[in-house]
Amino acid sequence: MIKTISTKELKKMLDLKEEFKLIDVLDSEHYRKEHIPNAISLPLNELRKKAKNVLNKDEKIVVYCASFECEASTKAVKILQSLGYKNVLDYKGGLKDYRENGLALAGKLHETHFHALSCKNC
């Protein structure tokens, strides 16, 4: 069974600084451009190979991808569960939902935007 998490629930976990791993399963280039702050890049196509180096099977894990339409996070949950990870949540809304809820994202796209807004004499 796949458990999901809402933007509100994820935001609360982040605000309370709960112990969990937030995993971006999009490709590495997309992660460099844009990701949720404090997320770890673990692309779907590398998940089976690299999960054991980054994740503990008993910790809480939240995975996300681009949006509700993207299936990568659901596939990631299934892969992790098949590898024995017990507490995996699917943040189905992903980057799009996070952004649409007015929450700040990190990455190259946002560094440039922030710099342009904050630098008067550059």
Average pLDDT over the chain reads: 90
The reported pTM is: 0.87
Condensed to tens digits (0 to 9), the pLDDT of residues 23-61 reads: 999 999 999 999 999 999 999 999 999 999 999 999 999
* Domain map (residue ranges) of the chain: 3-118
Give the burial class of 105: count Cβ atoms within 10 A of its Cβ; 0-12 exposed, 13-18 middle, 19 or more buried: middle
Q: Does domain 3-118 have CATH number 3.40.250.10?
A: yes
Q: Facing residues of 4 across strands?
A: 90
Q: Which tokens go with 102? A: 């007015």
